[in-house]
Amino acid sequence: MTSAPRKYLDYNASAPLRAEARAAMLRALDLPGNPSSVHAEGRHQRAIVDDARDAVAALVNARPSEVVFTSGATESNTWALSAPWTRVAFADVEHVSVREPAAQIAAARGCEAIPLPVSDAGVVDFASAPSGPGTLVVLQMANNETGVLQDVARAGIWATEHGARLHTDAVQAPGRVKIDFASLGVHTMSLSAHKIGGPKGAGALVIGAGVDLDPLFTGGGQEQRRRAGTENVAAIAGFGAAAQAALADLDAAARVQRLRDSLEADILRATPGAVIVAQEAARLPNTSAIALPGTSAETLVIKFDLKGFAVSAGAACSSGKVGASHVLSAMRLKPEIARSAIRVSLGTDTTDADVAAFVAAWRDIHGGASVAA
């Protein structure tokens, strides 16, 4: 007897590796040479890196010269936060890769780190934000747990008017919403390859023209002398191929949102006491944070896993930690809701059958309630 195929509904944690990315990586792995070498083999490696840079830049409408490859968004966020500032403000729902380095750098410098409150829907309130020269403001484009979208363009206008520098962690947004770095008014932007079907361990920091940012790593002239060290050509090639494919995903965003909305509607019919977190807010089309008071998120994740579904409770980066989500706490959700919330995140490969199977598993786990026709 063969078991049913597993259904992956955890794209916000990491998207499956795309076929295009795998093929690009294998081609790069088969080639010799260092991209800093001037011989033919080295020039071929350099061309692979340059082509990937072009693709990543096109994904967010940036100039290729503004894209610097890193080991991932955590490095990119830390690098952006290493800029000179006297005070840093960040949304209270920011990812831990922003919150922790912000606090550590502020403590080391004897400066202020100011969390900005959010509404009950998870939208940041700038009323208490500091301003003026020496201020760095960090605002995620989309929340990894709830999918809530922030108005980064409005924040860019605010930063310009108030003399502040603005960094955005955009890792969840590419391929799901259109991004225009050139018009957002941000100074730096973090990206991650594995969120769009590229390899883990590759990312980028997009650095706007005229932004002065000292390198984190020195000792070589790679990446326009902004990040020393021989480039991970295979991972960068995979990132570039994934970026090209992610642009096409925008055409499928409406279909993915229809699946997400159908899933939520069926869950609410099956269990009227369930709560869709930030349901009325602007969200990523693929993301649903679902809570059912009286249940445990950790237990639900295990039960769904046993039934063949991959879903999350909170951020994947915090897996193994017991405690309420800082995101849901910042949104002032009741503890019984925050403790029970799981995240379901879909991808372009998700089907109607996958959603129907998840709803059936939800009904089974929660007592076999039937869904209205």
Dist CA 351 CA 345 (whole Å): 12
CA distances from 363 to 271, 308, 309, 370 (A): 8, 15, 14, 7
Active site residue 317: yes
Which two tokens mark 62? 């940036």
Catalytic residue among 107, 317, 364, 369: 317
Tokens of 283: 């969200």
Distance between CA atoms of 10 and 346, rounded to whole angstroms? 7
Whether the CB-CB separation of 331 and 341 falls below 8 Å is answered with no
Secondary structure (3-state) at 51: helix
Beta-strand relationship, 112-116 and 135-138: unpaired
- What ranges in the chain are assigned the alpha helix state H? 19-29, 40-60, 73-81, 96-109, 152-162, 181-184, 222-225, 233-249, 253-270, 297-306, 326-330, 335-338, 352-365
Q: What is the DSSP string of 305-357?
A: HHTTEE-BSS-GGGTT--S--HHHHHTT--HHHHTT-EEEE--TT--HHHHHH
Neighbours of 88 (CB within 10 A): 28
Helices first, then strands: H and E counts in the chain:
13, 12
Contact 206, 179 (CB under 8 A): no
Task: Report the 10 Å Cβ neighbour count for 178.
Answer: 13
Cβ atoms of 174 and 246 closer than 8 Å: yes
Amino acid present at 365: I
Cα–Cα nearest to 230, from 238, 221, 239, 241: 221
The residues annotated as belonging to the active site are 317
